[in-house]
Structure 1
Amino acid sequence: MFFNEFRYNLLTTLRDRHFIMWLILFPMALGSLFKAAFSDIYENDIKFSPIPTAIVQTQKDDIFKEVIRSVSKGKDALLKVTYADSAEEAEKLLKDGKVAGVITKDGTLGLTVASNGMDTTILKAFTDRYLTEEKLIKDTLEKDPMKLPALTAALKDDLKTVKKVRLTDGVSDPYITYFFNLLAMVAACSSVTGLNVVMQNQADQSPLGARKGCSPTPKLISTLAVLAGCWLTGMMCTAISVSFLAFVLKVDFGSRLGFVYLAAMMGGIMGTSMGFMIGSLVKESYEKKNAVAMVISLGGSFLSGLMIADIKPDIMEKAPLVNALNPTAVVCDSFYYLNLDAGYDRFIGKMVTMLVMTVLFTAVGFIFTRRKKYAGL
């Protein structure tokens, strides 16, 4: 009996066009828009990449050549160098937008740029530093050549005083939070599937519920079977969303993708249970139950930062209890801590919170649906 109820609910849910639209296709479309909107911003304005630079060297200078070679190699290269045979060739590259600046070395060091920006600032700082150190070396050669090795060693040590240290192995893209919120929204919107638990087991809600009221199958078994089917559906929706973002849109979730799946599916179970509770508390038609579920889900998504990223930190500062009680924010925080922290303590804390919320929502749903009597149908 349990398996038949479970299988029937799963099949009917998967055939629901509204379910397919809002829990599978809509997140895919929104995720694609996020990817198109934010990927270029991160790549162009935030993520550092070697600066394309044209080099024109008309006089032999081994020191300059070695410096350029050292700053244009390795994974932390500062420059992406293109050597030009003449100033005219370099200027054409600059005019065509193929390089950000032109460095010339013809006795003196010169820099030509097309516009202001971060790349221009970095190139200016690089050339200024080179000129300063070149003067130091020349002055030392003129006044006391014996000090040249000590000066060279000091300059090399100075270059090592500042180095890049990663505080976490997570993704540094600040726009990844929008994708975290998208997955949290899918989990919360799974509440619409949880409404089926009530609709299919209350005789005054649907013809199917009326038939089940006359069925010899115990109501507890029937409710558990439908709820289990809804849980599985919620898990499938979130897993599909994670897979689409990670493997189709190539969103980088870091090295803990398995835990991202785990948190998303736990969020889907919690969202489904929230829908079960909403369906049992709202004593109206399916349309009104669905409207309440969507308002709560999308309202929670808004407060967790899906529409305005800065709203969540403001709420955390002024009303932290709101974030703690917002199921969508809890799911989003689990992804955030998974990406930010080296350990798993805060991530596990959010998983436990989702489990507690699931138990609470499910318990309330059972309390308000058990032993319901009908004067007439």
Structure 2
Amino acid sequence: MFWRLFIYRVKVLLRNRVTLFWTFAFPIVLGLLFNLAFSSLDEAGQLETTSVGIISKNNEKTEAFEKVLHSIKKDGKSIYQSKRMNQNQAAAQLAEDKIAGYYQIDDEDVSMSVSQSGVPQTIMKEFLNQYVQRTAEVETLLTSGAIQPQDLSADMFVEEDFVEEVHVSENYSIKSFYFFTLVGMSIMYGFMWGLKNANDQQANQSSNGIRLSLIPKSKLTVSSANMLATLLVFYVLNMIILAVYRFVYQVDFGDRWSYICLVYFLGCLATISLGTLIGNAFSKLTYQQKLSIGLSVSMAMSFFAGMMGSQTVKYWIDQHLPLLGRVNIVNVISDSMYQLFYYESLKPFYQNLIWLSGFAIVFILVNVFFERKVQYDSL
């Protein structure tokens, strides 16, 4: 009976065209738009050296910043040529187009000024965004004690080690950075499948739920078969999406494919379970109302993960409210992909795996609690 339910559920899921569109076709189309929008940014290596100015108000921070800036190279040649100057000199050279822009480094922040919009200026901005994020992650790791200071300095910010181990010089890809967040959002859409499961299992929500409640099998057997079928379908769909991103859109995800597949599996399990939880917890609402709740949560998580041009918000959260970033499934998935691509050490990645596993376990246990206690009156 279990496998009959499983096969039946797979057939039902594959006939749901609306959910298939939003969880399969939509991420592929959105990925195409990302590819068209961000591919040109990865042509930095084909650009001639970009001259930038630096206004320093903190010598120690400036030296660290310049070391990272100069480590981005193509064929052994640094993409950026920097020169320290004062405010008046920077403004004058920027007005005369002698520099693409300038960075201002003080005790609290690193800011950037440009006079026009172009590929060099866009690359400067993206470099600054990632530098700020990396710095925030370093501070978080130091605070948590996950990595010792000497390990971080050797692993990330010292001359060739930064370029070789973090893969910034040869594999540095702005497009990949944005696609990592897109991966998180597309996996987050798995809540739709879980929500559909909950809706089809509840007798007060659908005719299918009425029929399932009458069969001589426990609710746990039915929900387990539905969950396994949904996980299989959604995971396979995401593997196809990943293949499209990698081989059609030429997105570089690195070479740690076993870990990437594990992130996908745990992410799919967690988001499907979350969708089922939304369906079980808000059983008195209509399906469309529960779907709206799930979409709102997904959009909020995507925004705080930097999906919609909100990288500054994401970096601020990582630095000041790290727990908020940890409970954001989209952020945890995108950070996991980011860490697998850039980091040699897997310690931060393992922490994210623990969080994803924890989400899945908690959601499943709460769903079991809801499904065991639900009862329907016989009329």
Say yes or no: TM over 0.5: yes
What amino acid maps onto 2:321 in structure 1? Answer: A
Aligned to 1:334: 336
Structure 1 position 34, deviation (Å) = 0.7
Structure 1 vs Structure 2 CA RMSD: 2.4
Aligned to 1:298: 299
1:102-121 to 2 correspondences below 5 Å? none
Structure 1 position 166, deviation (Å) = 2.7
1:31-110 to 2 correspondences below 5 Å? 31-43=31-43, 46-48=44-46, 75-76=75-76
Aligned to 1:367: 369
- Whole-Å separation in 1 of the counterparts to 2:241 and 2:316: 28
The answer to whether the 8 A contact 1:198-1:279 is kept is yes
1:66-215 to 2 correspondences below 5 Å? 75-76=75-76, 165-169=163-167, 171-215=171-215
Aligned to 1:322: 324
Q: 1:227-276 CA deviation, whole Å, 9 max, x = no partner?
A: 11122223123212211100111111122234223212321111111111
The residue matched to 1:166 in structure 2 has which SS? helix
The answer to whether the 8 A contact 1:232-1:269 is kept is no
- Whole-Å separation in 1 of the counterparts to 2:184 and 2:320: 22
The answer to whether the 8 A contact 2:267-2:356 is kept is yes
The residue matched to 1:250 in structure 2 has which SS? coil
Aligned to 1:351: 353
- Whole-Å separation in 1 of the counterparts to 2:78 and 2:299: 44
1:177–1:212 CA distance, 2 compared to 1 (3 A): same
1:320–1:163 CA distance, 2 compared to 1 (3 A): closer
The residue matched to 1:368 in structure 2 has which SS? helix
Identity level (%): 27
**TM-score, normalization: structure 2?**
0.67
What amino acid maps onto 1:242 in structure 2? Answer: L
- Whole-Å separation in 2 of the counterparts to 1:78 and 1:323: 34
Q: 1:16-69 CA deviation, whole Å, 9 max, x = no partner?
A: 1112210111101111111111111221xx335568xxxxxxxxxxxxxxxxxx
Structure 1 position 196, deviation (Å) = 2.5
Which segments of 5 or more consecutive residues in structure 1 lack a partner in the other structure? 52-73, 80-114, 119-161
Asked whether 1:276 is paired with 2:289, we answer: no
Aligned to 1:245: 245
The answer to whether the 8 A contact 2:220-2:371 is kept is no
1:291–1:343 CA distance, 2 compared to 1 (3 A): same
1:265–1:163 CA distance, 2 compared to 1 (3 A): closer
- Whole-Å separation in 1 of the counterparts to 2:277 and 2:339: 28
The answer to whether the 8 A contact 1:234-1:271 is kept is no
Structure 1 or 2, whichever has the larger Rg, is: 1
- Whole-Å separation in 1 of the counterparts to 2:160 and 2:253: 25
- Whole-Å separation in 2 of the counterparts to 1:11 and 1:47: 48
**TM-score, normalization: structure 1?**
0.68
- Whole-Å separation in 2 of the counterparts to 1:205 and 1:49: 59
The answer to whether the 8 A contact 2:254-2:340 is kept is no
